[in-house]
Structure 1
């Protein structure tokens, strides 16, 4: 550290100004800026220190008289900004069609005055003064680099120029009005300057409140709109993207997350001329037949935003432009963009004119037919568009349009594409809600596919949610069809053979959830349905398939409806705990738990009594208890479970000893969720048991903490934060199983709540790295008949440790000391198959975010990678072993291709260079070339020596 401090001090001295007499000091200053760039690009843990000492020096040197040095100084500051974006804590993203920036999930604690971002904010005023002067200089390269710097600045700070915008207005005007007719060279450089200026403006508009720009619209709109008319298509294309954001600034429409409504502001009459100017230049470009493809698409996008944001102020203009959009919809080249544009127009809150209505009526059949195309993006866009058309303009559509829509939707009601499926189901729901008369057509065309779909093993997540909404809508549309829908759902279970389940468990669960939706909506049919299922589960003649579905359905209904008036229901369910079928017993535990959740006061004492009195049923009863606790692991649950909490707590710990690991996992989940119900009481209780002499208890406790990470409340996090190290320190426990469970909990914390562990990683990382080491005392030989087999008891722990490292690399990158981390990754390259593949993945990721550090270790990676690629399988190896080895080799080749790209711009790596040459012409040469082409096509953004990382 002291060496680094001295180096930084020398560099700052070198950056001082010198006299003009015989000045060759610019070479020293340029070299010093490159050294600073290398430091900034590789030592992210010093960000705060860099902002204290280096950043002010760089800002002062923006006035550098030598152009090449000035550009290097600006580039160094850009590297600092990019490092801050990745390692500086919270960051933001914006999406193309959003009205406001969306905040990423916080990956760290709130910013303090000493945080890198706050120190950067404190520098903005001085930076703006110094940089604005350079942006008015004659040097085009300086201006271009300056606008790149500004774009990175507003991205990192999610704004930041609110009070300094006037400083940059002259430079923006100057850069966008620069003539490009002097010479070919100047034309090229001026075009690049314009593109960078426009790119900066686009980001500037995205991340600042619209009101900030309203006083400057006259000076901003003219040069932006004139850029749309530029002869160079790239400038025009970028200018259209800026116009899209500019329209949102002129007429902001903000979405209120709390009320789920749009806040529409009236367009300032003095701004209408800007909207008309943008409209006119957009229509002019859209009417040009020989325009570049990108320009065509972005002009359509711009027109869509104009209409969706300001359509109520363009009533006459809509008569001209809506027919034009319909024409573009029929054009194969522009139809995808036009479909998306129609979606935004139809969904607009300010544009519901007759012209738009007629255009939607004319477009709906065109869009529906596009579902037949093989172009997947077009299908997705068309389904989204159809749902919006039907939802917003369904009252104006005729029976023929509805019939066509349902006809085209039918092929997509299947599990062949699970991304298209929920979109198709949502559209059917909108059809039913806007036109209940379509119910007959839905039953005829769609319902047979639905009954087939519920039997799929793949329907879950968004697809399942949409399916449940569809059944809810079907029964709400016509409650008289209850039995018809119920029988259709039950039918697949009735054809099962005795003693076995013919559908997958996922299918039974899907069907049960659909039945529960029907019962919740149709209360008058609910009681009779529950009675019917009760009879089925107690009927000895019924097949296991029917009983299994009946139990799941009772559980799903009981979760939503109080079934306590069915007096003997729990007795019937409990009687099934002793049947031979494990599936039926598991379903009975699920049913008991969820029925109990519907009325805790009645059923929970029964469950507790049964656990105490009947040890043979304890495992199943604990599963039932888990269902109850899961329902009440929130603030409401404190009151509901309060009277029984102590009893449950003691029962769980009594059950945690001397039982199989599967049961302990259930106990741990119950403990974790019970802790969430009352953390003030139970979190200290868990902490006390960390010192238990029983390894089983310690393992249960550390696993229980893992199940609390599902909680999203700040209050619980504040209670857990000071205790988290105590729990995770069990990584160094004497018991192997406890160590493995602790690593799993650390991995879960890193994935779900990284902010809880970020500040204590310096204590946890040494323990984690220790578990990545191969420990010889855990390896022993096992004799299996005439054969001897080597068994490594530490393998599972090492694998868990590397999985944890992988997660930390994604969520806590700024808290990792890259060189130590990289050492363990390189060691993992020669470990067992799964660990080696994880190490390959991490090395590729590190090549992107820390290229300089990886470049320095390229030669070290040669031996393990070569060992993987040259390993010869035994002659008697089975196919699964061969496939596994080939997978590992392909993964290694991908790493070599990635690192070779780094080596092109790095230092001297003779050993690695020779290895790459051998790989290109060796056994894996063809695979190398294939991955190389793939990498080139993705435009892999590795920086040159770590100076210009692509962190987009």
Structure 2
């Protein structure tokens, strides 16, 4: 069919559906389906055609041919969004054809109704009309339990139109469903369970409580009718309902969590665990209910936080221990099996397996006690994944039992125990969330503090290794991959198994040979094995391992993993050089991979990286070295490999130790090819970095011609591309030249080139003065005629240039009459002439001469009051440099003056101390530290807050604290000084700087976790400055140390959202500028920082599964509602931030859109922004701000519509009902109509 379809064509198809030939009828319906799907507007714009189509489809449902009925059912899906409310109601009522006979299969009308309700898009009023007309006819108990169509229609009404049900309809529905659930053990009863679980989503807390009470009443009623030990189907039903509720909407169940958990635990029947029922069938049924209870506990644990279920966690773990060894048919004496919950695991002897039938596979025995052992192992794993703080308890209570169960007669039990042990070991890693998110709880006993999971694992290693080794037999060849994953995790956490690894590897090799496959698990195992064990412990197995790695690299499907495994081998090779392996074939293979054009860039790049490690680590012959260098040379010319190749050449140059005898080949053959790529802006940074490695290398001496070529090329490119160079690139360029000069003879041509470079950078903001001074110094030392060089520079470098004074001062130190220049500049200072130049000149002289040159402090102190900012800054630097070289004499004077000067001079004195503190002995460091904090205490009485003073003071303290870590231990006391605002602010700023040092944070993670926790509470301080620095610190910590910050931020986030996201009157000031009054919101920056913190929190949780436990204490609904009720009603800058956060939030948690009134509130909030009318007197800035806000809303709306609402893969996650979909689609339609140009312009 064409894209444009006429009414006559559609009418023709309608006629064909009446043909006698069934094929023609089917083809007509197929064509109609295509038209509805591809051009729905044909029916949207024509109610008449829609009505006719409905008639045609309903008639087709009566066709004698099933394929025609099915095609008609299929057409309802795309048709529904095109229908008006009236036609939708008409269609639903037309399909309300109830079966007359008892049936166990759905009628075609029920299938059609399902498609209709699933794809229905109507407003709340229409939805309620449909429910009120349809639902009462199906709430008939006798019909429901005999005809499956009834329960399916009820289920669909709940799922898709439940939001439109009134309280009376909900009440009647759940009461009927409970009766059906408990009084029938059929497919219909199971469908009723699913329907009732779906209904939970639209019930409020009070209604949920009534449902729970109704379930309990029905359960008790059913049990009272039974004369048997218990009504087992009703137990299963109750468990299925409770776990189903948690799966559908766990938040609704949280107020009743303890009651529910106690009910589930009661079904474990722990008190009767040692008693085997004489009725074998009843024992099987009892164990089946117990298994279902364990599964239900897994669901509950998966959907709750530690705090919500903490009362039961230890109890549940202990029950898991009991069930791990549960095998009632193996119990010979009930008295030997004590079920006291307080008894230690060691009191339970392993059950002997005298019954040969129990040693068969799962399918060969009617006994299902193995399910309990399997499910308890799974439950332990679930607990650990969602409640990582239980790791230590799991080790103490159940770890040994898991090890014991590795010799279970049932393979699936062994598998689950092995998987759970692997998970426990992974969580034992020092990088896991157990350690990184402070999962120790204050409820832990004192004895726990003396133990750690890693210590307990280490103690259990001998037994664990023996048990695992015992089952590494051909019988368990199907579990080979589980064994490989287990040992990979074990190696990573324990750093290897020492001498035990050899025998284990021998048994694993038998299993892998039997499976005859080299898969990713095996390669990952090799990588972990090689990384964490000594080669000498398994040297005999190396040839086989390398053969398998070579095979993997040869195979396209496993090349990357093979390369990773070989890279791990190379890292181990550094420690020990095995004598029984040859690497030449692997070398040849990897070279070919790097050069093969039809391979992916990822594989070729990884090959280059491995080759680099290879020549850095392995001693190779010169021929082989040349061959690898040739690979580099060829790969440089492939655009997709150039960057990677440049990087690896640099690494090879930097670490060219193994083959240093012929590493000069790298310089001879690769330096200039790399240099030639500097004209390409995209490669420039990498080229400069690699050339810097060449210039600094001690083993690679570049030829004189190559050095000259590099210097000249760099001069040319820096001149032509000067403005396109970044500051880092300029710095590297000068650094390269400086290093090249170390062993280079300078002739007049080079001198001319170097002088041009110096002159070029003399007035540049893009170069660090230290680098230009160093280049000047190194050049001057190489030049024969220093005075001529000085005169040349002095004539070209003006006194107004930014670095001129430093350049001239540096060169002057190499001429005989430099003292006259010093005196001249001192005289200029006294005469107030050329002040900036003279201060900078003398500063450089002090740097050059150090302690050999001294001037009075007053020379620079008197310039600190100068009105010229540049002079003040230079004088501050000069003061710092002077004190640094004459610290014993001048530091006491400066510290004394610091406590006396006014607020204008305090920052300048502190800036000078930043320079001094960069390298200071411990005694003087202590003096500076104490004086700075004394200063902060002294200025508390000043009326104005001195933020700049605090910020600079923190830099001084940072330099000292970074060198002398013992000073960090005093910071907690500084934060405790609640009355000292400047002290607290400076300390928080200091901690923020420390969070940029990853190594320091790891060394003192406990200290910085405590400090961050203390600072987080300053968000609630009354002082705005403390609030701001506290939030800024949390943002920085989320960036640099999420493993520490996430737990802390998650804990305070709720209060921050409640208290800090609304504009506060006390922060708002009105100022008069001319005839106009302007409102200044001093709290705006704080709110912006809070939203930035929220965004970083979402990013951290999204990008790492290590923080899954934190995710369960973050209230995403609170975040969403804060955006809707606060963010989108705030300043334009906050609106923009809120739109970004919203897009991220719905991506992480799409189900939020269907929660409560969130979607309707969001639409209302968006519409308020879109419909906002500015006054005619609005300024240009106000108009632009409004336009930006509208674009932000449209951007978020388009992303939500495209990625979430219209993406069917998200439908199960969002759970949007018919009414919500209708409201959203109407909103999008209206937005497109009102803002067509913006909608087309804005990108998500």
TM-score (norm 1): 0.70
Q: Which residue of 2 aligns with 1:166?
A: 502
Cα distance in structure 1, aligned partners of 2:1237 and 2:456: 50
Q: Which residue of 2 aligns with 1:220?
A: 545
For residue 279 of structure 1, report the CA deviation from its aligned partner.
3.8
Residues 1:42 and 2:386 aligned together:
yes
Where in structure 2 are the equivalents of 1:358-757 lying within 5 Å? 358=665, 360-373=667-680, 376=682, 379-392=684-697, 397-410=702-715, 413=718, 414=722, 416-418=724-726, 420-437=729-746, 440-441=749-750, 443-444=752-753, 448=756, 451-453=759-761, 455-459=763-767, 470-478=775-783, 484=789, 494=799, 508=802, 530-538=822-830, 540=832, 542=834, 547-548=835-836, 550-552=838-840, 554-555=842-843, 558=846, 562=850, 567=855, 570-604=857-891, 607=894, 618-633=902-917, 636-640=920-924, 653-662=937-946, 664-665=949-950, 669=954, 672=957, 687=973, 697-704=980-987, 706-707=989-990, 730-744=1018-1032
* Residues 214, 250 of structure 1: 8 Å contact kept: no
Cα distance in structure 2, aligned partners of 1:154 and 1:768: 43
Partner deviation per Cα, 1:896-922 (whole Å, 9 max, x = no partner):
888789984975632688898789987
Where in structure 2 are the equivalents of 1:107-256 lying within 5 Å? 114-122=451-459, 125=462, 128=465, 142-155=479-492, 157=493, 159-162=495-498, 164-166=500-502, 168-170=504-506, 173-174=509-510, 177=513, 190=517, 194-214=519-539, 216-228=541-553, 230=554, 232-252=555-575
For residue 587 of structure 1, report the CA deviation from its aligned partner.
3.8
* Residues 705, 745 of structure 1: 8 Å contact kept: yes
Q: Which residue of 2 aligns with 1:88?
A: 434
- After superposition, the Cα gap between the structure-2 partners of 1:567 and 1:318, relative to the gap in structure 1 and judged at 3 Å, is closer
Cα distance in structure 1, aligned partners of 2:945 and 2:844: 28
Cα distance in structure 2, aligned partners of 1:307 and 1:595: 48
* Residues 761, 815 of structure 1: 8 Å contact kept: no
- After superposition, the Cα gap between the structure-2 partners of 1:442 and 1:72, relative to the gap in structure 1 and judged at 3 Å, is farther
- After superposition, the Cα gap between the structure-2 partners of 1:792 and 1:22, relative to the gap in structure 1 and judged at 3 Å, is farther
TM-score (norm 2): 0.56
Q: Which residue of 2 aligns with 1:100?
A: none
For residue 626 of structure 1, report the CA deviation from its aligned partner.
0.7
For residue 348 of structure 1, report the CA deviation from its aligned partner.
1.6
Residues 1:826 and 2:1132 aligned together:
no
Residues 1:878 and 2:1174 aligned together:
no
- After superposition, the Cα gap between the structure-2 partners of 1:918 and 1:468, relative to the gap in structure 1 and judged at 3 Å, is farther
Cα distance in structure 1, aligned partners of 2:426 and 2:370: 26
Cα distance in structure 2, aligned partners of 1:486 and 1:5: 84
- After superposition, the Cα gap between the structure-2 partners of 1:369 and 1:398, relative to the gap in structure 1 and judged at 3 Å, is same
For residue 577 of structure 1, report the CA deviation from its aligned partner.
4.2
- After superposition, the Cα gap between the structure-2 partners of 1:485 and 1:42, relative to the gap in structure 1 and judged at 3 Å, is farther
- What SS class does the counterpart of residue 878 from structure 1 fall into? helix
Residues 1:314 and 2:621 aligned together:
yes
Partner deviation per Cα, 1:740-797 (whole Å, 9 max, x = no partner):
4555566667778899999988997787566545476658795979999877665444
Cα distance in structure 1, aligned partners of 2:572 and 2:708: 41
* Residues 339, 367 of structure 1: 8 Å contact kept: yes
- After superposition, the Cα gap between the structure-2 partners of 1:899 and 1:239, relative to the gap in structure 1 and judged at 3 Å, is same
- After superposition, the Cα gap between the structure-2 partners of 1:387 and 1:658, relative to the gap in structure 1 and judged at 3 Å, is closer
- What SS class does the counterpart of residue 941 from structure 2 fall into? coil
Cα distance in structure 1, aligned partners of 2:1224 and 2:1045: 39
- Unmatched tracts of structure 2, length 5 or more: 1-309, 328-357, 359-363, 438-447
* Residues 907, 949 of structure 2: 8 Å contact kept: no
Partner deviation per Cα, 1:100-128 (whole Å, 9 max, x = no partner):
xxxxxxxxxxx976444445555555555
Which deviates more from structure 2 when the two are superposed, residues 837-846 or residues 234-243? 837-846
* Residues 176, 227 of structure 1: 8 Å contact kept: no
Cα distance in structure 1, aligned partners of 2:326 and 2:1213: 31
For residue 349 of structure 1, report the CA deviation from its aligned partner.
0.9
For residue 548 of structure 1, report the CA deviation from its aligned partner.
3.6
* Residues 673, 707 of structure 1: 8 Å contact kept: yes
Q: Which residue of 2 aligns with 1:349?
A: 657
* Residues 560, 598 of structure 1: 8 Å contact kept: no
Partner deviation per Cα, 1:326-373 (whole Å, 9 max, x = no partner):
55555667665555554455442121345x545642333333323344
- After superposition, the Cα gap between the structure-2 partners of 1:386 and 1:203, relative to the gap in structure 1 and judged at 3 Å, is farther
